[in-house]
Chains A and B, each alone.
Chain A
Amino acid sequence: MTNQLAMSTAPHSRRLPNLKVLAESALLIVLIYAVMAVVYVSVQPSALSPYAIEALLNNSLPLMLAAAGATFVILQGGFDLSVAGIISLVNVVIAVMPVDGPLGALANLGVALSIGIAVGAVNGFLVAGLRIQAIAATLATMIVCQGAALLILGAPGGYVPDFMVYDLTGSVFGVPVALVIILAVIALWSLYRRTDAGRNLLAVGQDRKAAGLSGINVERTEFFSFVWAGAFYALAAYMLAAQTSTGSPSAGEPFLLLSFAAVALGGTAFGGGRGGVTASLFGAATLTLMQKVLFALGVSSFYTGVIQGLIMILAVLFAAAVRYAVRSRRVA
């Protein structure tokens, strides 16, 4: 009874590696970072000394780790504001732990990770289990964590083991510890995204409904994205404590907006499905480096915010322009 006029005339798939790789991998942000590094070194040649490199890496590391954590949640299409709370909480807990030496540092790490994972699991339960909007749920946990941080340490202070302060911010065999950690995170991510869990994370971000109908356990994927995030925030707080050698109940606050800025700078799409941890690491490193460059160029510290804001906007526009170019080539 119906004569269907349906016939496929769509062209066969064609893949365009070059531009696409550029648009959808960390390459773009790595290039931006490299350009900025060249600028930095040309204004400040002393930046190439081993000490300066080590200091730069140490400065960048906490934000890089926090951004790496945020990426897990953003990739599946979620949002996690608890970063500020978890970093503050873990930071003060480390500052009040009466331990020292390498074993003490290890104990601190264990405690830090347990807190991060526990809060992440609470977030995951609220969002994946109780279906509360992610921004709202993580806002609440952030506030609770901040309160807990204030309870533990009312004002900045405390004591961070010397091993953390000196050895973890130094070098082993001439390689800065921070660099080792960064490379480890990159390696971990490159492996993780090829596992089923990593593939599912991106799949859920791309199309939640299709992922669910394909048999992916969407709730589980969401849940573990928050757990991963919590663990990375804790690690960020741990390294922050090592770097600042003290604890502060408001240590996490600057990380709230900056970690998201870093993720965006790395080209990871808000809404999920596209991007990666490596790109966010470089996004965060770029933000830190940018401050140094502006300082080296003699921009009044009052106005660095103006440039930071503009660069964030431009970076997002630039990434969008490259993606647009890829898409129009695909259509053509």
Chain B
Amino acid sequence: MADVLSVQALSKQYGATIALRGVDLGIRRGEVHAILGENGAGKSTLVKLLSGVVEPDGGSLSLDGAPYRPASIRDARRMGVSTAFQELSLVPDLTVAENMLLPKVSTGRFWPESLASIIRRGRDLLERFDVHDIPADAVVSDLSLAQRQRIEITRALSHARRLLVLDEPTAALPDTGWLFSQIRRATGDGVGVLYISHRLSEVREICGRATVLRNGSSIGTVALEGVDDAGIFSMMVGHRPEAEKRTALRPNKGAEVLLETRNLRGGLLKGVDLSLHAGEIVGVAGLEGQGQQALLRLVGGAMRPGGGEIIVGGAKAMLTSPQKAQRTPPGIVFVPEERKTEGIFDTLTAAANIALAEFATGGRERLVNGRAERLLARQSAERVSLSPRYLDFEVGNLSGGNQQKVLLARALMTGARILVLFDPARGVDVGTKQSIYQMMRHFAELGGAILFYSSELPELVQLSSRCLVLYDGRLAAEVPQEALSEARLLAAAHGHGERPTNDLRMAV
């Protein structure tokens, strides 16, 4: 079968940074083709090149045999290529219908089309792609993340005549049913689909072949049926990953209590009692929106409580700011979920990002330069296995995994004994995950305590000394280490041991 898209020796460079060094791949008509690779392997650059956001420096692209060199998103769409972006490209204060039709919303030639008519057309489009539960006249900022993602995908579907690019389309979706049926319909019409996802199980379900990227180059294209997960991983990272060992720490109930909460409320959290002992890693599990975000932010001082108490180091504490939390002995440090918006300082070097913790907690002002910061940062960087040569990079130029390491190193730098981590290994590559797990275990072994939430059950099972399961803003269960299993957590996450419902992915 003829390729709808063929890519040869594609390369792209941003200033001194080489993002793509040579990518070859071909997507057949009606095929769902996966792109696999660690963070920083070049997937997002490939998406940008295909969708016309940036132009390549070298190599060639062709679409149905004809040269393809889109100068803009509109250009790409005109040639039948459209993209659902990972970061969701919807304009917040416009209606769903307007967003669906951007940038040419109004059909009126001499007089602008009425909003009612625009909404009618938007509704028709939604209906065409089986979206029945999102009103076309709703304002996007009022929608949930999952709803926005579906609008993003629907818009891409409506423009895709030859190639549909889906970048992490399921990141916020509760289930894949709707998406996969739409993809199958599109491929039935002969559209090629480029599918990017971190979730291998999902990739195996919908994709036929996969091209693996590593370090900006394509390593090869494989038929997914003929290769096992370990084989794919070894292509992605260049070596076979070590078998995941379960090496959680023994719980130590007799140890010193570092932190307690009593009937803690705020946001979606409706009252939680917990205690955190020295030397343990307490996992928090829950479906999205059960109050875990509030719990971690409250304990980290990043949110004001609506009621209840937090007791730190034996004394009642008012954690009015992250700074206050860090300064309340034995010290609490919070690493948020949003790396870009709440984590990194992108134009500062990695060393400056890490060393900042020293300046934030240390009271006296002092003189610093790049070398001083490097010396300060080096030890913490080692604890998260961040290569010292990255210390001089601007953090904005590092991969997501290394940015996360920088954030964790900064947290360690504060010297706090309580770490509060929100999904610390989300969206980072396998190698970085292992470094983060190792750091967490080591931290607890040295007498620190960790409270962490994770959206991935295996991670919770593997790391936790015990696991708290939240449901509807309350503690639904506390699962001790002996009883930890994914099935047990999943059941508790749905409230009291019910069977998991179908809209949860059971991927294993």
Asked if chains A and B are in direct contact (CB within 8 A), the reply is yes
| Contact between A1 and B89, CB atoms less than 8 A apart | no
Which chain B residue shows the least CB distance to A274?
A: B93
- Chain B residues contacting A15 (CB-CB under 8 Å) are 138-139, 142
- Within 8 Å of chain A (Cβ to Cβ): is B92? yes
* CB of A279 to closest CB in B, whole Å: 16
- Within 8 Å of chain B (Cβ to Cβ): is A154? no
- Within 8 Å of chain B (Cβ to Cβ): is A35? no
Pick from B72, B142, B146: contact of A217, CB under 8 Å: B72
Q: In the bound complex, what is the Cα–Cα distance between A13 and B143 (angstroms)?
A: 6
| Contact between B138 and A207, CB atoms less than 8 A apart | no
| Contact between B200 and A212, CB atoms less than 8 A apart | no
Q: In the bound complex, what is the Cα–Cα distance between A13 and B198 (angstroms)?
A: 30
- Within 8 Å of chain A (Cβ to Cβ): is B112? yes
- Within 8 Å of chain A (Cβ to Cβ): is B145? yes
- Chain B residues contacting A266 (CB-CB under 8 Å) are none
Pick from A3, A195, A216: contact of B486, CB under 8 Å: A3
Stretch at the interface among A4-12, A65-73, A122-130: A4-12
- Within 8 Å of chain A (Cβ to Cβ): is B104? yes
Which chain A residue shows the least CB distance to B175?
A: A7
Q: In the bound complex, what is the Cα–Cα distance between A202 and B93 (angstroms)?
A: 9
- Within 8 Å of chain B (Cβ to Cβ): is A131? no
| Contact between A199 and B94, CB atoms less than 8 A apart | yes
What mask results when residues 202 to 218 of chain A are scored 1 for a CB within 8 Å of chain B, else 0? Answer: 11001101111111110
Q: In the bound complex, what is the Cα–Cα distance between A8 and B143 (angstroms)?
A: 10
- Chain B residues contacting A194 (CB-CB under 8 Å) are 106, 112, 115
Q: In the bound complex, what is the Cα–Cα distance between A128 and B242 (angstroms)?
A: 51
Complex interface residues of chain B between 135 and 169 (CB less than 8 A to chain A): 135, 138-139, 142-147, 155
- Within 8 Å of chain B (Cβ to Cβ): is A161? no
Given contacts A1-B229, A206-B93, contact A10 B455 (CB under 8 A): no
- Chain A residues contacting B171 (CB-CB under 8 Å) are 6
- Chain A residues contacting B31 (CB-CB under 8 Å) are none
- Within 8 Å of chain A (Cβ to Cβ): is B103? yes
Stretch at the interface among B180-188, B281-289, B295-303, B368-376: B281-289
| Contact between A13 and B457, CB atoms less than 8 A apart | no
- Chain B residues contacting A1 (CB-CB under 8 Å) are 199-201, 229, 458, 507-508
- Within 8 Å of chain B (Cβ to Cβ): is A200? yes
**Interface size classification for chain B:** 35 or more
| Contact between B93 and A273, CB atoms less than 8 A apart | yes
Does more than half of chain B's interface fall in helix, strand or loop, or is it mixed?
loop
- Within 8 Å of chain B (Cβ to Cβ): is A191? yes
* CB of A76 to closest CB in B, whole Å: 12
| Contact between A210 and B143, CB atoms less than 8 A apart | no
| Contact between B142 and A7, CB atoms less than 8 A apart | no
A/B pair count, beta carbons within 8 Å: 152
- Chain B residues contacting A214 (CB-CB under 8 Å) are 73, 89-91, 99, 102-103, 155
| Contact between B92 and A9, CB atoms less than 8 A apart | no
Pick from A196, A203, A206: contact of B106, CB under 8 Å: A196
- Within 8 Å of chain A (Cβ to Cβ): is B127? no
- Chain B residues contacting A217 (CB-CB under 8 Å) are 72, 74, 103
* CB of B346 to closest CB in A, whole Å: 15
| Contact between B106 and A3, CB atoms less than 8 A apart | no
Does more than half of chain A's interface fall in helix, strand or loop, or is it mixed?
loop
- Chain A residues contacting B285 (CB-CB under 8 Å) are 5
- Within 8 Å of chain A (Cβ to Cβ): is B58? no
Q: In the bound complex, what is the Cα–Cα distance between A217 and B201 (angstroms)?
A: 38
Stretch at the interface among B348-356, B391-399, B444-452, B498-506: B498-506
Q: In the bound complex, what is the Cα–Cα distance between A210 and B457 (angstroms)?
A: 32
Which chain A residue shows the least CB distance to B454?
A: A5
- Chain B residues contacting A274 (CB-CB under 8 Å) are 93
- Chain B residues contacting A14 (CB-CB under 8 Å) are 142
Given contacts A3-B456, A217-B74, contact A8 B507 (CB under 8 A): no
| Contact between A215 and B73, CB atoms less than 8 A apart | yes
- Within 8 Å of chain A (Cβ to Cβ): is B124? no
- Chain A residues contacting B147 (CB-CB under 8 Å) are 8, 10
Q: In the bound complex, what is the Cα–Cα distance between A2 and B229 (angstroms)?
A: 12
Pick from B74, B138, B198, B506: contact of A3, CB under 8 Å: B506
- Chain A residues contacting B7 (CB-CB under 8 Å) are none
| Contact between B287 and A9, CB atoms less than 8 A apart | yes
Q: In the bound complex, what is the Cα–Cα distance between A13 and B151 (angstroms)?
A: 14
Which chain B residue shows the least CB distance to A330?
A: B142
Complex interface residues of chain A between 167 and 212 (CB less than 8 A to chain B): 191, 194-196, 199-200, 202-203, 206-207, 209-212
Which chain B residue shows the least CB distance to A20?
A: B139
Q: In the bound complex, what is the Cα–Cα distance between A227 and B302 (angstroms)?
A: 44
Which chain B residue shows the least CB distance to A11?
A: B144
- Chain B residues contacting A209 (CB-CB under 8 Å) are 87, 89
* CB of B185 to closest CB in A, whole Å: 23
Complex interface residues of chain A between 1 and 34 (CB less than 8 A to chain B): 1-11, 13-15
Q: In the bound complex, what is the Cα–Cα distance between A196 and B109 (angstroms)?
A: 11
Complex interface residues of chain B between 56 and 111 (CB less than 8 A to chain A): 72-74, 77, 83, 85, 87-94, 98-99, 102-106
| Contact between B288 and A8, CB atoms less than 8 A apart | yes
* CB of B372 to closest CB in A, whole Å: 31
| Contact between B142 and A13, CB atoms less than 8 A apart | yes
- Within 8 Å of chain A (Cβ to Cβ): is B53? yes
Which 4 A-B pairs give the minimum distances between C-beta atoms? A10-B144, A213-B89, A13-B142, A8-B146
Listed A/B pairs (11) with beta-carbon separation below 8 Å? A1-B200, A1-B507, A5-B286, A10-B289, A11-B144, A15-B139, A191-B112, A194-B112, A196-B112, A199-B98, A199-B106
